[in-house]
Amino acid sequence: METLPLTEPVLLMLLSLAERPRHGYSILKDVERISGGRVKLSTGTLYGALRRLLDDDWIERVEEDESPRDRRPYRLTPRGRRNLQLEVERMRHLTKLATLRVARKEA
Amino acid sequence: MLAFYRWLLYLYPSLYRREFADEMLLVFRDAHADASAAGFAERICFRVRETCGLLAGAVREHLHITRVSGPVISFTRFDMRPEFRFPRSTVFLMSLIFGGVILAMEKANTIMVKYAGGEGSIWPSLPWFLGFTVLFTFAGALAVRGILFALGRTGGQRLANIQTGPHRTE
């Protein structure tokens, strides 16, 4: 079960899916790209996280007639998008707090 | 590497394999093609990452199934289906028979020592015998359980594979 705060790989995967629906390989490459090559997911890690996100109804499979069974894309559900927004909000608050504290220390 | 990867996928629970194995294989094939075009170090990193990721993932999925379907080993009589539930007296009778066998063996041992001129016992002492019996039974049960678990044939795994409602992807 995914809980907040999210781990970095899961957060990056959700951010990748927030843009548009993607299939597994596309998520893998996008996570690598948006993390600047720092986070490279293995397929085991990727699909373990996808399974948990599917179970928790954070993402869903896009059923398209033209997409083959092994190339079905995933997309965020409203619940997943809401949780991602909560996480981003939490991080924004943390960053703001950290910036204030660091600035106060320097002053 | 693809054959090795396919073989490693068998370490996952069968339900998980049915749902994701084809996709995983396809993604791995694409990622492998990318890594093959890169340098030697990148290829090695890719192989290590994939192998470790798969092994860790398989363990995680088995643990997940265990958590979902209850404890790994259940000895309680009430976990059995009513038609297979043995009568309560069976436990008492089996304990009685087991105790009788042990006592008979001890008696035979005493008689043998008495009439064989005290050459020593061919049987170990009772505590040792009981200890070995319990240990041997436990090890045997654990081995059988391990084999069944590896084959995905435990009751818990088979129950977990049963679809009880409409599938979420359909």
* 3-class state of residue A61 by DSSP: strand
What pLDDT, on a 0 to 100 scale, did the predictor assign at position B78? 55
- Angle B126-151/B89-115 helices, nearest 10 degrees? 130
Does A59 map to a domain? yes
What share of chain B in percent tops pLDDT 90? 18
Chain A residues touching residue B166 (CB < 8 angstroms): none
Domain assignment present for A86: yes
pLDDT per position as a tens digit, B83-122 = 566 667 777 788 888 888 888 888 888 888 777 765 555 5
Mean confidence (pLDDT) of chain B: 78
Kindly state whether residue A16 falls inside one of the protein's structural domains. yes
Closest CB from B20, B23, B49 relative to A42: B49
The answer to whether the Cβ–Cβ distance between A47 and B57 falls below 8 Å is: yes
HEC sequence for chain B: CHHHHHHHHCCCCHHHHHHHHHHHHHHHHHHHHHHHHCCHHHHHHHHHHHHHHHHHHHHHHHHHHHHHHCCCCCCCHHHCCHHHCCCCHHHHHHHHHHHHHHHHHHHHHHHHHHHCCCCCCCCCCHHHHHHHHHHHHHHHHHHHHHHHHHHCCCHHHHHHCCCCCCCCCC
CATH number of the CATH domain containing A53: 1.10.10.10
Q: A40 in a domain, yes or no?
A: yes
> Hey, is the C-beta of A105 within 8 angstroms of any chain B C-beta?
no
To 10 degrees, the CA torsion angle through B89, B95, B96, B97? 110
Name every chain B residue with its beta carbon within 8 A of the beta carbon of A41.
Answer: 53
Q: Tokens at residue B67, please?
A: 């958590």
Q: Could you say which of A41, A44, A70 has the minimum Cβ distance to residue B22?
A: A70
In a domain, A3, yes or no: no
Beta strand pairing call for A59-61 and A74-76: antiparallel
Shortest alpha-carbon distance between residue A23 and chain B (Å):
9
* Helix, coil or strand: residue B10: coil
Residue A2 lies in a domain: no
Pick from A47, A60, A69: which is nearest to B24 by CB? A47
Q: What's the CA gap between B6 and B9, in Å, rounded? A: 5
Ranking A18-27, A31-40, A86-95, B105-114 by mean pLDDT, the lowest is B105-114
Q: Complex ipTM above 0.90?
A: no
Say yes or no to pLDDT of B81 above 80. no
Q: Which pLDDT band, with edges at 50, 70 and 90, does B170 fall under?
A: very low
Entry pTM:
0.62
pLDDT, tens only, A51-96: 999 999 999 998 876 666 667 899 999 999 999 999 999 999 999 9
Q: Which domain holds residue A24?
A: 8-106
**Number of domain units in chain A:** 1
Interior angle at CA A45, CA A43 and CA A46, nearest 5 = 60
Give a yes or no: residue A58 inside a domain.
yes
Question: Regarding predicted confidence, which is higher, B77 or B96?
Answer: B96
Q: B61 vs A48: CB contact, 8 Å cut-off?
A: yes
Chain A positions touching B42 (Cβ under 8 A) are none
A52 lies in some domain: yes
